[in-house]
Copies of this chain bind each other. A is one copy, B any other.
Amino acid sequence: MATYLEAIREGIGEEMERDPGVFLIGEDIAVYGGAFKITAGMLDRFGERRVVDTPLCESGIVGAAIGAALMGLRPVAEMQFMDFISCGFDQVVNFAAKCRYRWNAPVPMVIRGPSGGGTHGGPFHSQNPEAWFFHTPGLKVVAPATPYDAKGLIKSSIRDNDPVLFFEHKALYRRVKEDLPAGDYTVPIGKAKVVREGKDLSVITYGSGVHMALEAAEALDREGVSMEIVDLRTLLPLDEDTVLASVRKTSRVILLHEDTLTGGIGGELAARIAEKAFEFLDAPVVRIAAPDTPVPFSPVLEEAFLPNARKVLEKARWLCAY
């Protein structure tokens, strides 16, 4: 059994064995093994040439990763918390994202790190910053929900020839475990997965939302309602076909994410569904997301803030009764 965290570590380690151009760069990742210990042991295995501790400078780290990627290496840069990517934002959205389009220069790099709430991290250690990058052509955005996918996707991300933002959900790091197949496997970027078949309604989600949906689905089962769950896995490029197929099948859809509502990825999904599966819809397209506030610190507030299985269940009942 591997946790989500171990799966990512395994995936990174395998890619480093496989390709000498893969290296790690970030704050406190070498000697300390990273704030969440994702890179624990890597320094011993691969040496300080390939596991680079930097000063505290996110723009510097992202920029350096871009420069190394342009030279043909495959940097994997850690943000200690994905929230801090805002400090290296320009490098990501303007430098990394646009090189290929502008002058045909590939930037094969990964920026990865913990995101999401549920650990009382407060406004700056709990955010889900994926929507900013989802809106930036040239980037790929990956957000796995399970150990299997986390390992398969980090490996694909490292092999990808475009810049990938890899959002790990910190509340899943040690909470979800599963057996992983022995040896090398990858999960393709850009492919969603129907993680649960159903016929009455669809939940389209990713990351922590998958687990909320699964919990709600079991309760609904007992009520005789069958929920289909699509785990997007990759947010950009979006696997529209799998989403639309599910909606066309069930005719009812909930778009679920932990990120805040307005401007979140649910909007984009709703738009595609309202345009391309319009004739199939039997009910309004419903979104469940965190409300439009910063992530509050105090447990009672954070609990009220975060989506959860109960909130999914309530909306699902409403939707099925529509």
The interface of chain A, by Cβ under 8 A from chain B, is 83-84, 86-87, 89-90, 93-94, 97-98, 101-102, 123-124, 131-132, 134-138, 236, 238, 255, 260, 262-271, 273-276, 278-279, 281, 283-287, 292-294, 296
> In the complex, are the beta carbons of A287 and B271 less than 8 A apart?
yes
- Asked whether B293 lies within 8 Å of A131 as measured between CB atoms, the reply is no
Contact between B286 and A275, CB atoms less than 8 A apart: yes
What is the CA–CA distance of A267 and B292 in the complex, to the nearest angstrom? Answer: 16
Q: How many angstroms between the C-alpha atoms of A131 and B132 in the bound complex?
A: 8
With a cutoff of 8 Å between Cβ atoms, the chain B residues found around residue A286 in the complex are: 275
Which residues on B sit within 8 Å (CB–CB) of A132? 132, 135
Give the CA-CA distance A267 to B274 in the complex, in Å: 10
> A263 — which chain B residues lie within 8 A by C-beta?
131, 134-136, 263, 265, 267-268
A60 to chain B, nearest CB (A): 13
Q: Which residue of B93, B138, B236, B274 is within 8 Å of A273 (Cβ)? A: B274
Which residues in B have their C-beta under 8 angstroms from that of A276? 284
Rounded to whole angstroms, the CA-CA distance of A131 and B264 in the bound complex is 10
A125 to chain B, nearest CB (A): 11
A17 to B: closest C-beta gap in Å: 35
Please give, as numbers and ranges, the residues of chain B lying within 8 Å of A270 by CB-CB distance.
267, 270-271, 274-275
User: Contacting A255 at CB < 8 Å: which of B84, B86, B260, B271?
Assistant: B271
Complexed CA–CA distance, A296 and B266 (Å): 28
CB atoms of B278 and A134 under 8 A apart: no
How far is A294 from B138 in the complex, measured between Cα atoms in Å? 8
Assess the A101–B135 pair: CB atoms within 8 A.
Answer: no
Are A102 and B123 within 8 A (Cβ)?
yes
Q: Which of B238, B281, B285, B293 contacts A137 (CB 8 A)?
A: B293
Q: Known interface pairs A135-B260, A262-B137, A265-B263. Does A284 touch B278 (Cβ–Cβ under 8 Å)?
A: yes
Q: Are A134 and B268 in contact (CB under 8 A)?
A: no
Closest B residue by C-beta to A124: B94
Question: What separation, in Å, do the CA atoms of A11 and B159 have in the docked complex?
Answer: 53
Closest CB in chain B relative to A221 CB, distance in Å: 25
